[in-house]
Amino acid sequence: MNSLFTNILSLRHIEYLIINQHWKIIELSSKVNILADNSHQVQVGKDIRLGFPELIGIEVIASDIITGKQNNFELKGVARTKKSLKPIYIDICIANNIKNNRYSDELLIVIEDVTEKMVLEQSLVQGANEANLLLRTLTASKQYIDQIVTSMADALLVTTLSGKIKTINRTAQVLLEYDEVEISGQSISNVLKEVDTWKEEIEQRGNVQTPLFGPITPLVKEVETVCHTKTGKTIPVAFSCSKVQTEIEHFQGYVYILRDMTERKQAELAKQEFLAMISHEIRTPVAAVIGMGDILLNTDLSKQQEEFVETICNSGKALLEIINDILDFSKIESGKLEFEEEPFHLNSCIEEALSLL
């Protein structure tokens, strides 16, 4: 073969063979046997199919190339030597060995080692598959979290570190009467009062190391305040807050969970009204019992009768104290209970309890 052509092929790490129409090797490059499946069979005069079994079965195609019916033919092959477990991937191109611009009865077979290319392609395909798997996992994870956030009965607001609202869930949209686009970028203090006073406490709490999520900031729980809606309504709420800390600044900020306290406040008010009413209704007959007992004590009674009447009066007064205690429980829940210090006689308390029983 032309020495210039041979040098060009050598520079490109491409080997070649020239065979006759009977598949016998006429000429070959110096390193072509390295790419063969049976290297010792790649010699002048030998059937090329012994060294490159990929060529078996293309005899008709080879005949068409010799006669000029087909220009060339390409196929891929793999050489697996006994010395190395790693396969050698090759590209084989077959064309007529044209001489003096005329078709000859010889075939030129060019063989290129494409192992590095194949390994790179396999690595890229594997990387793409892993990336797709990761993307699907992240997408599924986002959908999972979005569904949880959407289905929350409490309102959820996420802000930046500076307090600008980034996103809210559906419950928050209903509560605050804002669409997510409308409220995005607003300060959290515009809708939630006294919120800034709790940020210092959040910073002081520091982080808690968790095995699943790493360092997290504990929630500030059930801080009662009010929020203002788009239409100007004032709604009592209890909110919890936590600081989100990640390595990426864009994903840092605060998470607020708001619970509408309207029904709870209405229930508390109804409870207080009921207790006030029922205590008034009970006080009236109890007061009559105590009053009649006191009047009865001022009449002529035997010693035994006087003891009985005193027991009735003491029981009535004890019942009145129980009613006052019930009202005290209501004051405890509303945070309005006040303690009073009064003197008492211990012996009298014990005697009254014993006579009652």
Query: What pLDDT, on the 0 to 100 scale, is given for residue 122?
Result: 87
What is this structure's pTM?
A: 0.49
pLDDT in tens, 140-197: 888 887 788 777 888 888 888 888 998 888 888 888 888 888 888 888 888 887 676 6
Residue pair 20/66 in contact by the 8 Å Cβ criterion: no
Average pLDDT, stretch 20-44?
A: 87
pLDDT tens digits, 65-107: 888 889 899 998 887 765 656 788 889 999 998 887 888 889 9
The per-residue pLDDT of the chain, averaged, comes to 82
User: What's the pLDDT at 130?
Assistant: 92
Q: Which of the listed ranges 66-70, 196-200, 203-207, 265-269 does the model predict with the highest average pLDDT? A: 66-70
Mean pLDDT to the nearest integer, 23-43: 86
Where are the extended beta strands (E) located within the chain? Answer: 14-20, 25-28, 72-79, 88-96, 106-113, 155-159, 165-168, 208-210, 214-216, 220-228, 234-244, 253-260
Whether 58 has a pLDDT exceeding 80, the answer reads yes
Report the run of H or E that residue 293 belongs to, with start and end: helix 262-297
pLDDT mean over 27-35: 86
The number of helix segments (H) and strand segments (E) in the chain equals 10, 12
Instruction: Report pLDDT for 126.
Output: 92
Q: How confident is the model at residue 132 (pLDDT cuts 50, 70, 90)?
A: very high
pLDDT of residue 347: 92
Per-residue CA distances from 350 to 309, 315, 322, 354 (Å): 18, 14, 17, 6
Residue 205 has pLDDT above 60, yes or no: no
At 350, list the tokens.
Answer: 């014990």
Top pLDDT among 252 and 125 is at 125
Query: Which residue carries 């005697």 as its tokens?
Result: 351
How far, in Å, CA of 14 to CA of 10, rounded? Answer: 6
Residue 212 banded pLDDT, cuts 50, 70, 90:
very low
pLDDT in the model for residue 204: 60
**Angle in degrees, CA 50, 5, 74, rounded to 5:** 45
145, 210, 347 from 142: Cα distances, Å? 5, 21, 71
Confidence of residue 12 (pLDDT cuts 50, 70, 90): low
* pLDDT (mean) for 318-329: 80
Collect all residues with Cβ–Cβ distance below 8 Å to 41 and sequence separation of at least 6.
47, 50, 51
The mean pLDDT value for 293-301 works out to 88
Within 10 angstroms of residue 96's Cβ, the number of other Cβ atoms is: 21
At 10, the pLDDT band (50, 70, 90 cuts) reads low
Listed residue (162, 170, 220, 165) closest to 191, CA to CA: 165
- pLDDT at residue number 213: 47
Residue range 45-49: average pLDDT?
91
For residue 243, count CB atoms less than 10 angstroms from its CB and return exposed for 0-12, middle for 13-18, buried for 19 or more. buried
Task: Specify the 3-state DSSP secondary structure of 88.
Answer: strand
Rounded mean pLDDT, 328-341 = 74
